[in-house]
Chains A and B, each alone.
Chain A
Amino acid sequence: MPKKRGADIVIDVLLEEGVDTVFGLPGGAIMEVYDALFDAPLRNILARHEQAAAHMADGYARATGKVGVVMATSGPGATNLVTGLATAYMDSIPMVAITGQVPTHYIGTDAFQEADVVGITRPITKHNFLVTDIKDLALILREAFYLARTGRPGPVLVDIPKDITQQEYDYKMPTLKDVEDALPGYKPHYEGNPVQIKKAAELIRRAKRPVLYVGGGVILGEASNELRELAELTQIPVTTTNMGKGSFDENHPLALHMLGMHGTYYANMAVYHSDLLIAVGARFDDRVTGKIDEFAPEAKIIHIDIDPASISKNITVDVPIVGDVKNVLQKLLKELKKKPVEWEDARKSWLKQIQKWKEKHPLTYQKSDKIIKPQYVIEEIYNITKGDAIISAGVGQHQMWAAMFYRYNFPRQFLNSGGLGTMGYGFPASLGAKIGKPDKTVFAIEGDGSFVMNMQDLITAVQYRLPVKVAIINNEFLGMVRQWQQLFYDSRYSSVCLAVQPDFVKLAEAMGAVGLRATKPKEVREVLKKAMEINDRPVVMDFVVDREENVLPMVPAGKSYREMIVSPKQKSEAETMYLVG
């Protein structure tokens, strides 16, 4: 085997791992790798900001299930990745970040563009590495991919000093066995304890008011089919978290839609009254549970998750099952089928009650023919895409409306920063998704505040002719913060007004994209129709919407589901209608 340059070893490993696209932007410390990329059979999407590059890699990973790869130079290049890595870490997204570092002998000297990247990213990566010897380079890179995609997935960073990318070494591609041998303590638990699975089956048989509470783990674990089978067999209604959207068809009669802070009335009521909660790939986040000791107060809890550390972290669980969700659900189904029950009979009164709740407060909003309601825009996006588009969202009210008023029906359809809540995520993520799934219509539903946090990368979309559709829900506010100020801070609108803004239509045109605007409800469909016809460049749609619309229902932070605000008339906390009791 002839000697190879470190940078070429990097490319070799990328190819070995099946990577065909990386996202990034070069600089001094990673120039050698970009030099090797120049004539390698894989392409680099040249983002205009490393944060955007990281979100692109993340969007690519979420849409395809493959590992997303991002590259950046040392110092500022690497620090710009921080928000992107933290975003991916919180949502368990498989990513590998490759960063250049100053040459080995300069490390620790405050050299030009030096930053302790391994130190900075330690708490926001699943694992990270500093390569100190070219002999380890290939193995470390392969370990990074292996760690990123197995177990509970997550981002892994490999920091490579420039001299190591320049050195030559006579290397052999490490095998999977080499990788496993190098990680003797890393043994993700896939199987699920059979005794616990039996116990879970018994609880399901005996339950009168069960609810399936499903999170992003079902999507990451590719367990949607098993979930549907379980729900249909046992006639258990399904509520998903924001991250779990798409794991269960939201048009299914058993769908309760989202639970938690902005969950539906019927999902929250069902959870609140349940006697058995089956949590699958979810983690009892505070945005879901509200006040923890009043969360599902009468329910026994079964918790299925691949990460033992997620179990009994926020809430005490009756039947913990550590394992791969797909694997565990298959075994649970098998167990349930051994001793069948008259499921339909058993569920009759429970499902009837849920139906009543659904009729009492369906997911809805105040319609208008004078002013564009943000929810209406989402509904129209749903209609024109026939429910088949991939949707990514920023963070804020528009994100919640995108979650509530689009009906998701396949996994990897809804991409958003659920865990970290990163404004600026939605648009670049949509580019990654479009690159990974070129045949799908991809919409970025953005806020006027969120979009500007990464709008520079519109130019990237133009350069690569990515026909994503950006729908800005323009309320001229940092709307979600404004809503909290209105409800909980006596309407003191402190630093939330975005009245001074770019003209988004002109901005789009200046970048070489198409810009469209709707200011009246009747223009919405027309604008969307035009946007759908454009296939060679991005489109930015500026939907000027009702400025002070609120996201409802809402369980105020740290409160119990009992204290859910359902109607817009309940303005303040004091007026909160007690739903129960």
Chain B
Amino acid sequence: MVEEIKAIKVRPQPKSETRKHIIVVRVQHNFGVLTRITSLFAGRGYNIESLTVGKTHEPNVARITIVVEGNERVVEQIIKQLRRLIETLRVRDITDIPHIERELVLIKVHAGEDKARDEIMRLVNIFRAKVVDVSVDTYTIEITGDTEKIEAFIKLLKPFGLKDIARTGVLALTRESAKEGLQDNKVE
């Protein structure tokens, strides 16, 4: 005979940590496709950290790089929903795949006194950044790198007084040298 369950039983729920994911999406470059993607995030309350779009070498194919915070479960849902869009060609989470990650940032920083100007120039050199515009009291600096480097640079500039920042968001490509065993189909 089957025993009726007496105690309160609970389904075990898998736990997973929240972290940053880089998702690369290739889409048919039709008008409206970007709205479909962003409204997919907005409608479900997923928070996009950055999103970049650009054409590719293939005609009518655009590549979108999305950075989101989330646990495995949420990110898996995001990926499934992205794959579900009719115009999606391929979706990959490249977070755990060897990849090159770059962001380009323009920073306006206060640089009035000589001491500050010297100090900022030193940082610019260390980080291999570039001063692209100079005014009486401002340097405009261009820097590229991965998120870590950029964040470190910005943190060091902060005490001088930041006036404005423009960031492209993360771009990423997987390393060709480590491409074996990649699973990149649209459908699992």
Contacts and interface: CB of A to CB of B under 8 A. Distances in A.
Interface of A: 118-119, 122-123, 126-127, 130, 147, 183-187, 189, 209, 272-273, 292-298, 307-309, 312-313, 315-316, 322, 349-350, 352-353, 560, 562, 580-581
Contact of A297 (B4, B11, B83, B186): B11
Contacts of B36: 122
Given A122-B39, A186-B86, A315-B11, A580 B2 contact: no
The B interface, classified by DSSP as helix, strand, loop or mixed, is loop
Given A184-B28, A313-B77, A189 B187 contact: yes
A273 B90 CA distance: 41
B182 interface: no
A209 B77 contact: no
Given A122-B39, A189-B187, A350-B2, A316 B13 contact: yes
B2 A273 contact: yes
Nearest to A295: B11
B80 A272 contact: no
B9 A297 contact: yes
Counting chain B CB atoms within 10 Å of each CB, the highest count among A118, A183, A186 belongs to: A186
Interface string B7-46: 1111101100000000000011000100110010001000
Given A187-B187, A316-B14, A309 B84 contact: yes
Nearest to A270: B2
Contacts of A184: 28, 89
A362 B159 CA distance: 74
A147 B6 CA distance: 48
A559 to B, nearest CB: 12
B103 interface: no
A185 B2 contact: no
B141 to A, nearest CB: 39
B1 A349 contact: yes
Given A187-B186, A187-B187, A309-B80, A580 B11 contact: no
B88 interface: yes
Interface in B64-109: 73, 76-77, 80-81, 83-90
Contacts, number: 85
Nearest to A269: B4
A185 B11 contact: no
6 contacts: A119-B35, A123-B39, A189-B187, A308-B188, A309-B83, A580-B4
A560 B7 CA distance: 13
A189 B186 CA distance: 10
A293 B86 contact: no
B28 A273 contact: no
Given A127-B86, A297-B10, A185 B28 contact: yes
A560 B176 CA distance: 51
Nearest to A130: B32
B178 interface: no
A308 B2 CA distance: 34
Nearest to B40: A123
B5 interface: yes
A123 B42 CA distance: 11
B33 to A, nearest CB: 10
B78 to A, nearest CB: 10
A293 B2 contact: no
Contacts of B14: 316
Given A122-B36, A184-B28, A272-B5, A296 B11 contact: yes
A581 B10 contact: no
Contact of A581 (B5, B27, B81, B90): B5
